[in-house]
Chains A and B, each alone.
Chain A
Amino acid sequence: MSAAAVETPGRLESLLTDSATRWPDRVALEDPATGERVTYGELDERSTRYARALAERGVRRGDRVGLAVPKSIDSVAWIFGILKAGAAYVPVDPDAPAARSRGIFVDCSVAAIVAATSVAGSLEADEDSPWLEGTAFGPNVVLLTGGADDEEPASATRGGGTLAYILYTSGSTGAPKGVMHSHASARAFVDWCSETFEPNEDDRFSSHAPFHFDLSIFDLYVAIKHGAGIVLIGEDSGKSPLQLAEIAADRGITFWYSTPTVLRLMLEYGRMEGRDYGDLRMVFFAGEVFPIGQLRRLRRLWSEPRFFNLYGPTETNVCTWYEVGPHIPDDRIEPVPIGRPASGDLCRVVDPDGAPVPAGDEGELVVSGGSVMLGYWGRPERTAASTLVDDDGVSWYRTGDIVREDEAGDYVFLGRRDRMVKRRGYRVELGEIESALYRHPDIVEAGVVATSDDESGVAITAFLAWAGDGSPSAIMLKRHCAGNLPAYMVPDAFIAVESLPKTSTDKIDYQRLERDVGVPGRGSDAPVGAQRRESG
């Protein structure tokens, strides 16, 4: 069977095969949670075996394969196995509600799913699920096969398996949308990182981001390209600032990459002062704004390594970058810029009509270049809506982020154009939370707003009109949301009102709701639930 050998230069899996040839005995991955480690040679061999297993079960070039397993050495072997089979991987949070994961796998009609044994049952147990045949692979993984055949949306590019992975992000209408990246768009970013940050085989990368989050592209592929070691940080340790602070110090990590939220929690709760971070040489953060006060404190604590702010919606990988200098003045109150174009991309600031604004004016950032996605899976109209074609016929991805260029020529992030916020580095469409609330039979109206919060960065408050008996329990509402949404989208607080305030055009008055956050009694009814915004 030669399906396991789709190896051409420029593909992601060739990074592994090349490194396995060059450094077969170097440790590629280690998992502090289990003490397990694997060399480049072993990882390459194992992933080839998995590619063969997928091919034998009908997975072909151009197919999609779902991945619903906790982060582990084995999960990385499966990622490369899927790529070697010529398929694209579709990672989901193994802890996410099964309905959401199943919806994603149905949306992109995966041919197979690599599932943790604990979640495989909930993915099968549905009359809509075509994945009927399960094969156990060791104690922890079940391979579900027999998935949908070739119902290919027009926007998909099956030709030769150019699609590498699909990352689903929050969608405003309630359904997550799949961002399609090709091997080439991932490599545009990975290869730029090589040249810019010059890692080598003695480096040790943290892998904090889960694989369904785009920060993982850096951790996995940049490290593997250079024969570096990757320290896998699983879902549980990844949420514990104490464990993270310990891993970053004791595992000899040289490249750290995470969201500002994670670094802030480590700073506040990780008891970092007594530890030795002497091995760190590069610190990267991305996904959201890093509040300047905490960045300053972290910069003082970690004074030796270089610091970088990487910016880019999932649709663009990383499209701008900024190096944070060693000293952040005490009187600086603005966050650091997002910087200048990265990954060989071009950036432009445009007005609402798509015309470039004069340098220094505010406008929407649009991006063109090799690291930009192919499009949204099965949603050509969404892809078209997010694309600006200029007079020269060049396509630009509209980020929806409002920026301006500062005197030094760096872009500065100012805010969003729409109802999307970033929370713990994840994109949260407030409309998707409302859709989840509406699934509760006693909720007749829902309006969700995000406000900035000193402690957690962004606080999410849900206003709702309640038709049930008595007043709703915040604990019950949290559980309802957690059953329908990923944890980072669960609102911090719920406020029950008689009815939601409306604008003159009869739309929900979100500005009024934002003002009402944290003001008990300002709604038309008494608030319920957590008024303190405790989340992080």
Chain B
Amino acid sequence: MSDIQSAVKSYLLEEFFPDESPDALEDSTPLISSGILDSLSTIKLVSFLEERYGIQFEAHEVSRENLDTLDLIAETVGSKRNG
């Protein structure tokens, strides 16, 4: 699990917050509900996850419930890979 979190974290920092200290983004930091990721960033994140982990998101799965924190993202990706 933790390697998904760290891979996603590196992606987010690199893609959207290049000069940010990694400490600013914790596993439980709300990403979508807090305004850190907007709709376009969320779509880009989904494309990244699909490509990197060989999974597919259905339209209704691109949601706050599934993607709001690094923990949730890891959980969602994990269950998709196993499913």
Contacts and interface: CB of A to CB of B under 8 A. Distances in A.
Nearest to B57: A242
Interface in A434-488: 455-456, 473-476, 478-479, 481-483, 487
A323 interface: no
Interface residues of A, number: 33
A269 B44 CA distance: 9
B19 A265 contact: no
B43 interface: yes
Contacts of B59: 237, 240, 242-243, 245-246
Contact of A530 (B17, B21, B57): B17
Most B Cβ at <10 Å: residue of A237, A473, A475, A479: A475
B51 to A, nearest CB: 14
Contacts of A535: 38, 40-41
Contact of B20 (A269, A456, A474, A536): A474
A474 B38 contact: no
Contacts of A456: 40
A236 B63 contact: yes
A239 interface: yes
B7 interface: no
B1 interface: no
A528 interface: yes
Given A530-B16, A531-B19, A534-B44, A479 B38 contact: no
A118 to B, nearest CB: 12
Interface in B10-41: 15-21, 24-25, 29, 34-36, 38-41
B52 interface: no
B24 A236 contact: no
Interface of A: 236-237, 239-243, 245-246, 265, 269, 455-456, 473-476, 478-479, 481-483, 487, 490, 527-532, 534-536
Interface of B: 15-21, 24-25, 29, 34-36, 38-44, 47, 57-60, 62-64
18 contacts: A236-B63, A239-B42, A243-B59, A265-B43, A475-B24, A475-B29, A475-B36, A482-B34, A490-B35, A528-B19, A530-B16, A534-B15, A534-B38, A534-B40, A535-B38, A535-B40, A536-B40, A536-B43
